[in-house]
Amino acid sequence: RAKYVVGTAKELMAKPGGGAKWLALLRDRELLEVIEGLCTLPGVGPKVAACIALFSLDKNQAIPVDTHVWKVATQYMLPELAGKSLTPKLSIVVADAFVAKFGEYAGWAQNVLFIGQLPAKKLVATEVTSETAKPTKRKRATKMVEIQA
């Protein structure tokens, strides 16, 4: 993955005005144009482009579709697609379904639904002692750790 980071950094610096200016200009573009532009960067596909658009470029309707979002979509919104494999065309269908249901903040809605689907065993709580803080895996039912300054 490091080669993609280096390649992307080089590509961004080569953009007219530099990468920061090019990325800032994407904020004023339509979502499809933003995703297409980001996908020209090394290692950036539609899902990563949608993540960048949603979390960094104010494109609140961007839907980063992966297998987890696919699971949410087929379970709650598009049950007729359950059992099918996720394809680029079906990614667009999923994104459109989220936008139809949740409107201009569909990207954030899918993010909340995605987080809600994470298994409890993946949640990590931080155990804080007077000397160190170390991550430990906890179940949801355990008590919350009080953090003292």
Asked whether residue 79 falls in the same domain as residue 109, the answer is: yes
Strand partners, 126: 135
Average pLDDT over residues 72-90: 93
Strand partners, 135: 126
In the three-class reduction of DSSP (H, G, I as helix; E, B as strand; rest coil), residue 137 is classed as strand
Asked whether residue 10 falls in the same domain as residue 54, the answer is: yes
pLDDT above 70 covers what percent of the chain? 79
Asked whether residue 8 falls in the same domain as residue 27, the answer is: yes
CB 78 within 8 A of CB 91: no
pLDDT at 81: 96
CATH no. for residue 54? 1.10.340.30
Q: Domain count of the chain?
A: 2
Answer left, alpha or beta for residue 103, where phi above 0 means left and psi between -120 and 50 means alpha.
left
In a domain, 105, yes or no: yes
Tell me the pLDDT of the chain averaged across its residues.
Answer: 84
Q: Tell me which residues are annotated as active site.
A: 47
Q: Where among 59, 83, 98 does a domain terminate?
A: 59
Q: Where among 9, 38, 59 does a domain terminate?
A: 59
Q: Which residues contact 12 (CB under 8 A, 6 or more apart)?
A: 18, 19, 20, 22, 23, 41
**Which range of residues forms the domain containing residue 12?**
1-59
Query: 3-class secondary structure for 49-107?
Result: HHHHHHHHCCCCCCCCCCHHHHHHHHHHHCHHHCCCCCCHHHHHHHHHHHHHHHHHHHH
Of 29 and 122, the one with more pLDDT? 29
Q: For the whole model, what pTM was predicted?
A: 0.75
Rounded CA-CA distance 71/84 in Å is: 11
H-run or E-run covering 135: strand 133-137
